Amino acid sequence: MIAWRSIARTFQRHYAPLKAQVRQLSLLESHSHKLLQEFKLPVPPGFLVTTPEQAKHVVSVINGPSVIKAQVLAGGRGKGKFNSDGQSGVRHVESPTEAFKNAANMLGYYLTTAQTPADGLCVDKLYIVKAISIAQEFYFAMTFDRQQASPVLLISAAGGTNIESNIDKLHKLRFGLSTGITDEIDEYLQAELGFSDSEMGDIHQILVQMFKLFKEKDATLLELNPLVRTEDGEFVCLDAKFGFDNAASYRQPGLFAMEERAPEQEEEHRLAELGLNYVRLEGNIGNIVNGAGLAMATNDLISLYGGKCANFLDVGGAATKEALAKAFEVLKNDERVKGILINIYGGIVRCDMIAEAIIAAAAEMGGFKCPVVVRLQGTNSEKGLELVSNLFVVESWLIPLQVERSGLDNLIVEAEFEKAAQLIVEQTPRVES
């Protein structure tokens, strides 16, 4: 999952400076459990349901206390709230009737946690597992420390929802991908966490299988939270979160076929398929820029003048008219966007082609419904600016323009960078902090 704020991800931010942004595969908990089962890691029996009737049937099959978990790409579900009944995204039920009632108040409703958007995420799947009698919760994770160029094991005896307030109890042990879990690691954990010899046999097997999964599946993060010790002395993985580098997709086709995306990630995914780099931000000024450096400079300049960007959208050096049309479509469908800045420095991308895409977008949308500031510099910039200024299409890409004059009045051409950024901020309503 990429929506959670896990301890391992916090570790990565502080100890592993990110050199390049990568999109990572996100898995729901039900998929994560299947992956753990594949590598013989202990998980309780679980069932995925999409209706209250199915939830009732599953709990009758379990024939005992059960736990119903909302399946969303966000952590903190146990402390979250549904907009239906104000209860959390993780619920204990004692009977099939109780399961039906709770599922009816979860499916189709929005769950808000500390890691979701303010309006929450709509829940359309529930994962139901047999309730486990818990004696103690642990936190086990594997990730990478890029500063040390080494994988690292993160372990705490204070797992579950308490882990974020117990960072000081986190043990950090580096290991090698060629050596795996060594006797030294086992000895350290037994001494620090007080496992008995018989418990240490189970812990060692869990660590070995974690390492096997981590290595064979090209994981960047494997987090078991909580790994619990039951009242019967068994160890069971109740929840798991994963991170996988997108570069591993060609080696792991079955794994990436299970990908789930949050609604706000759909735009990023569609644009990535067209070769565009898109990152959703929290403001209301949409940007279409070519080049990551120019995109960052544009975002910084808009912020300097008091605006807030809704996105980071880099069309790159190989943008096509199709890709640009898709970029316009994404911004048009984003209700947050109240102004758009198109800032292109032409090199491989010709400014007249960008201008043609702008004109096509104006024609298709019947004019722009929000202010649009266009800055074109570089290859064919004069031709591009002329096309945009006159809203006239030349060559073979002729598209009839039947737009309202008011829609064209929203289009502003400005060749100077700082002035263009200032203009779009002035033309766009301010976002309240």
Distance CA 307, CA 290 (A): 20
> What are the angstrom distances between the C-alpha of 407 and each of 167, 370, 411?
54, 8, 8
Distance CA 393, CA 387 (A): 7
Spatial CB neighbours of 198, under 8 Å, sequence gap ≥ 6 = none
Distance CA 197, CA 220 (A): 31
Distance CA 86, CA 215 (A): 41
CB 113 within 8 A of CB 76: yes
Distance CA 72, CA 128 (A): 14
**β-sheet bridge partners, residue 49:** 126
Spatial CB neighbours of 187, under 8 Å, sequence gap ≥ 6 = none
The alpha helices in 259-320, defined as continuous H runs, are: 266-273, 292-304
> C-alpha 410: how far from its chain's center?
33
CB 139 within 8 A of CB 154: yes
CB burial of residue 396 (10 Å; 0-12, 13-18, 19+): exposed
Distance CA 299, CA 421 (A): 9
223 is catalytic: yes
Distance CA 419, CA 430 (A): 18
Distance CA 72, CA 80 (A): 12
Identify the helix (H) or strand (E) that includes residue 30: helix 29-38
Q: Are strands 134-145 and 219-230 parallel, antiparallel or unpaired?
A: antiparallel
Two tokens, residue 431: 């976002």
Two tokens, residue 319: 């943008």
Say which of 127, 139, 278, 345 is annotated catalytic.
Answer: 139
Distance CA 129, CA 111 (A): 19
Say which of 29, 98, 223, 267 is annotated catalytic.
Answer: 223
Distance CA 225, CA 206 (A): 13
15 is catalytic: no
> What are the angstrom distances between the C-alpha of 378 and each of 222, 259, 351, 385?
46, 40, 7, 11
Enzyme catalytic residues: 139, 223
